[in-house]
Every structure is written in C-alpha cells, then in structure tokens.
Amino acid sequence: MSATPFQHTTVLLTEAIDSLVHTPDGVYVDGTFGRGGHSRALLARLSPKGRLVAIDRDVQAIEAATSGETRVSDPRFSIHHTSFAQLRDTLAEQGITRIDGLLLDLGVSSPQIDDPERGFSFRFDGPLDMRMDTTRGESAAEFLARADERHITEVIRDYGEERFALQIAKALVARRESGNPVRTTGELSKLVAGAVKTREAGQDPATRTFQALRIFVNAELEELEQGLNAAMDLLAPGARLVVISFHSLEDRIVKTFIARESKSVIDRRAPFAPEKPHRLKSIARIKPGEAEVRANPRARSAIMRVAERTDVGVAAGGPSAGPLPSRPASPRGTGRGTSADEGSK
C-alpha cells in the first residue's frame, strides 16, 4: 500500500530542531512522525553516530516513512507504529534507556485532516471516524451511536469548550432515537449548525464539536500526560523536551507539567547550598512568526515549549543506546517497528 498523496507543512521546523539538538551524536525521539518534516531535518543535524527513533500511531504515517518516494532511508533511523504514551516500552525494546531529546508535534497532520475518508474535517464529507490509529478503538460515529446525552454533553463541553454542548447532545440523541444516527462528517456539521445559536466570527459552528470528538476519540490529553511522564525517566541530564501544541487544552497540560517539574528543591544534605531547579528547567516558549503564519495558516495557533532535563533524580546509568538492531521488535501490543531500510515495499 502506498502512502496518501496529501502533503504536510511542518510547523516551527528550524526552531524545533535548534531547540532539540544539543549533541549531534545523541539519541533522539520524534514521537509524532507525521510526514517526517521534523525527522528529516533532525537527521540532517545528527552526526553518523546519532540515532533517531520515530513513532506514530497512524499506519499511513508509518507507510510514508517506509515506502515509496517519501521513504526515509537512513541507517540511523527507525520507526514504530505505536503511541508516544508507550515511549518507555517502545524504547526498552530497542535497548534504549536514555535519550538526548524528545519532540512532540501534537495533534493531527494535514494528510489526516485533508483526507475525507479519515473523517476529521467538517470541510469534506466522509465517514465520521476521527481515529488516528484506525487499527484500534472506537470511531466518533460509534461513540455517538452508544453514549448517553450526559456523556456526549461532557465531551463536547470539556474538550471543545462549546457553550451549546447540551443542545448539540440533545439533537444528536433525538436524531439517533428517530433511527437515523449521524454517520458522516457532513451530517454532524449540519446538525451542529442547527443547534449552535450564536456564531463566532471567522469560525465554522462545527469547529468546537469536531475538536472535542477528535480529542476524546484519540484520548489525546491522557496520551500527552502519559508521554510527558514517561519522558522524565528517559531524558538524560541536559536533554531537551520540545512540545508543540495547537490548542489551549494541550498547552495547559504542557505548561503545568513543565512548571511543576521546574519547581526548585532544597538539597536536604546541604540546606545552605543554592536551590536547584527540580527535574526540568524551562527554556523557552516560542510562537511562529508572521511570515510562517502567512505561508501556513495552520501554524497560527501553535505554541512550542522547550525544557531541559536537569540531573535531579537521574539514576547513574550506562550509555543511552546500543548499536542499531538489525531488526527492531514490534512494540508490545501496539503494532510494528520498522527500520527504514527494511520497510521498502
């Protein structure tokens, strides 16, 4: 199978790589490969000794990395079909216990949004799916076909910050009870447009509902928390954590996490010594410049946060990684691992 022809324009490309790479010989993780814009730039920055482990939960992203013209053919690179929430296990299976940097460019890629078959967008009519990993889990249509009014209201209100969540949920349940549940993106956006009474300037009335269902179906916020927690055990002292968010719910999690992990601590054995930042030191908060937003409107809501791992709480350990295995094992229960050179089809 070949990858979809849809293109993705990478957001904050140079800024992310500049922030991430501090040792060209290091082991780096791109937890959100997408179409590999960041991964390719990262490989260009690494020395022959460097190594890049990429992850994506979308089968089409894995196909883009391993087949056809978009294939990444580099012995320093491997890609794994799994979630970044499974980071620890995925890396352990590669013999990696320490990394020098982790990049998370959150959310969906343009190929996912622009393909009507994936059901992410109200701009195209297609099946109401919205799963990033189509090999598992429940689609948005399946959720709306079984959930009660209260649950649907909570999802749309909490993940979409939608004032008309109750009205939308009522309309969805009424339609379902009349024997005609929503099955397509077109049906959902029409139903939402009828239930949302006041319009936000420049925004489709379905924007918030689509965002909410996507976040819920993919457990995006829980995944993010798990990924950040897993990173703390893996980042070596001096390693960088770089996270690009596209909405306030994600950014709030990243910001709170970095703030909590950056609180200074007093060394009890040396109470008069200067306080040390805790496990992270916050380094930067970067937004795309005007030129980037003009060229790529999808960049307008991006916020990148950068933090550096301190040496607090790092167990003394050996090297971060052994040599590249000739055949990476499949991540447990999540799919497959593929080094670039064996992925050619």
Residue 56 makes contact with ligand SAM by CB under 6 A = yes
Nearest 5°: CA angle at 300, between 297 and 303?
145
3-state secondary structure the chain: CCCCCCCCCCCCHHHHHHHHCCCCCCEEEECCCCCCHHHHHHHHHCCCCCEEEEEECCHHHHHHHHCHHHCCCCCCEEEEECCHHHHHHHHHHCCCCCEEEEEEECCCCHHHHHCHHHCCCCCCCCECCCCCCCCCCCCHHHHHHHCCHHHHHHHHHHHHCCCCHHHHHHHHHHHHHCCCCCCEHHHHHHHHHHHCCCCCCCCCCCHHHHHHHHHHHCCHHHHHHHHHHHHHHHEEEEEEEEEEECCHHHHHHHHHHHHHHHCEECCCCCCCCCCEECCEEEEEEECCCHHHHHHCHHHCCCEEEEEEECCCCCCCCCCCCCCCCCCCCCCCCCCCEEEHHHCCC
Residue number of the CB closest to ligand SAM reads: 34
**Which lies closer to ligand SAM via its Cβ, residue 69 or residue 148?**
69
Q: Which of 55, 141, 192, 228 binds ligand SAM (CB under 6 A)?
A: 55
Q: Which is nearer to ligand SAM, 149 or 225 (CB)?
A: 225
Residue 71 binds ligand SAM, judged by CB under 6 A: no
Site string for ligand SAM, 101-120 (x = CB under 6 A): ----x-xxx-----------
Contacting ligand SAM (CB under 6 A), which of 4, 17, 21, 37?
37
> Nearer Cβ to ligand SAM, position 14 or 180?
14
Q: Is 131 in the site for ligand SAM (CB under 6 A)?
A: no
Residue of 10, 19, 94, 185 that binds ligand SAM (CB under 6 A): 10
Establish if 250 lies at the interface with ligand SAM (CB under 6 A). no
The stretch among 31-39, 66-74, 312-320, 322-330 that binds ligand SAM (CB under 6 A) is 31-39
Query: Shortest distance, CB of residue 105 to ligand SAM, whole angstroms?
Result: 4
Q: Is 132 in the site for ligand SAM (CB under 6 A)?
A: yes
Asked if 261 interacts with ligand SAM (CB under 6 A), we say: no
Q: Which is nearer to ligand SAM, 38 or 208 (CB)?
A: 38
Comparing CB distances to ligand SAM, the nearer of 9 and 184 is 9
Residue pair 323/293 in contact by the 8 Å Cβ criterion: no
- How many residues make contact with ligand SAM (CB under 6 A)? 23
Closest distance to ligand SAM from the beta carbon of 289 (Å): 18
How many Å apart are CA 196 and CA 322, to the nearest integer? 56
Query: Minimum distance between the CB of residue 264 and ligand SAM, rounded to whole angstroms?
Result: 31
Stretch of 65-73, 83-91, 278-286, 335-343 contacting ligand SAM, by CB under 6 A: 83-91
215 contributes a contact to ligand SAM by CB under 6 A? no
Residues between 220 and 249 with contacts to ligand SAM, criterion CB under 6 A: 223
Contact partners, residue 94, CB within 8 Å, separation at least 6: 53, 78, 321, 325, 328, 329, 337
Q: Which of 15, 58, 129, 162 is the binder for ligand SAM (CB under 6 A)? A: 58
CB of 61 or CB of 91, closer to ligand SAM: 61
Q: Phi and psi at residue 158, in whole multiples of 5°?
A: -75, -40
CA distance 78 to 76: 7
38 near ligand SAM, rule: CB under 6 A: yes
Indicate whether 90 belongs to the interface with ligand SAM (CB under 6 A): no
Binding site for ligand SAM (CB under 6 A): 8, 10, 31-32, 34-38, 55-58, 61, 83-85, 105, 107-109, 132, 223
